[in-house]
Amino acid sequence: MRGPHNIWRLIRTGATMERTGAMKQAMDAMEAPRAFRIFARTVVWPFRWLGYRGDETLPPLTRAITALGPAYIKFGQILSTRPDVVGVDLAKQLQVLQDDLPPFPRDVAIKMVEAELQQPISELFSEFSEPVAAASIAQVHKAVRADTGQSVAVKVLRPGIEKAFRKDVDAFYFAASLIEKFSPASRRLRPTEVIAHFEGVVKGELDLRLESSSASEFAANTAHDEGFSVPAVDWALSARRVMTLEWVDGITASDIDQIIAAGHDRAALGSKVLQMFLSHALRDGFFHADMHQGNLKIAANGDVIALDFGIMGVLDEYTRRVYAEIIYGFIKKDYKRVAEVHFEAGYVPADRDVDEFARALRAVGDPIFGMDASRISMARLLSYLFEVTERFGMETRTELILLQRTMVVVEGVSRSLDPHINIWEVSRPVVESYIKSNIGPRALTRDLWRTATVLARFGPKLPQLAEALLIAQTQKAPAVEPRSNRKQALWLVAGGAVAAGIGAVIALALS
């Protein structure tokens, strides 16, 4: 329930924000009106002493969010994917939010596993360790299967986490409604929609069956990617609150000293991380959207291993083609084509001037291409690109914002492995390969084939569809001549025949 019962939680939140200095920072990011700022801080100030102190070594907002607990940490992580809402600077600050929290007792985890899998722990695992990692939503234990002796990683939700998140999400909705009511200027940021987006993401993470499904799909997509691997899901030992994966050993991608000591080629690893991400986004339209160093391991053979599949990005085929053409256009410095792609996709309103937009894009691209190779940044280019498109009236597209944020993170990982990486040179072969396969005659033939296949499915129904159309037209407009109705029915049948013909021709060509 979203109502006045949330006021106490909001007072505690506001007091913590004020005490840590995060209140002013958040107001600045949201461009809150002066009157609203004065009102909010006046209400909160008397309760300042109720706020949590937090870690004084952290920046104000990060300090406040970390002190407020798991739901706020996760909310901050989601907001870091929305620079359109909180601003670029604040989004960067939120990206450093860490999920490291005190673990809950092993005995509690065992009881949850037994309840979810409906078997005694001794029948499931011959060993079940203390927590090896603990985050805001779940923690991980290393275990050994009792029947096979295989080492596995068992992820267990925090006890009571669903209820705790529901309470905090209710408070977030209540706060969003107050902000929209008392600060009309903030409505352009759509606070309630932002909370709804957060709620959807968290609901997915609170059901580990969905994460298991994402891990399984990601593993299937990347099965033939040389040098990249995903742990296999053990479905027999997974449920709503428990997820079991094969155990993988490796060096965390952030531990550069160990990577060097192990003799790994850091330049090759940096290129591999970036190319794999682009390949997954463009080829599959399904990419790891939380690909920071903590979620990547380097195996002894040099493979990159991905972990934690709670946040995944999805791009439809058309968006992937648009994204590839935009990147390729920048690589080729063909700003007119980049501008045309934006107009063709409907990203920029048709009443804007395409040549003026192309000139604005040149102002984005040329300075970046003039930089030293080690400083060239695709993430920076995408950030500038969104600023320009916003000036030209482009509406916020959540899937592209998530893609941009992940690109920033992945680029950071690649640079930490190889500080001298040339982002464009590494990206070029992946983008060019996608362009050749998906834009041009071959892609057109494939699209026509798919269209014909869909239309051909209706072949047996064409007579009934034609008859239904005739009856409907007769009932709606009895004055219309039957000849006209027959003509429409004939066009319908002819369309189906043409579709079937196209399919046959393409089939012969492909064979």
The structure tokens listed for 70 are 């798991």
DSSP state of 394: P
CB 18 within 8 A of CB 48: yes
DSSP state of 283: I
- Beta strand 228-229 with 151-157 is unpaired
| Residues across the chain | 511
d(CA 188, CA 194): 11
Torsion region of 149: left, alpha or beta (phi above 0 gives left; psi -120 to 50 gives alpha): left
DSSP string, 229-261: E-PPB-GGG--SSEEEEE----EETT-HHHHHH
Q: Is 351 a catalytic residue?
A: no
Using alpha carbons, list the distances in angstroms from residue 314 to 84, 210, 319.
19, 14, 10
CB 81 within 8 A of CB 405: yes
Instruction: Give the long-range contacts of residues 369-375, CB within 8 A, separation 24 or more.
Output: 369/333, 369/424, 373/420, 373/422, 373/425, 374/419, 374/420, 374/421, 374/422
**DSSP helix/strand/coil, 427:** helix
Catalytic residue among 168, 290, 308, 418: 290
Catalytic residue IDs: 290
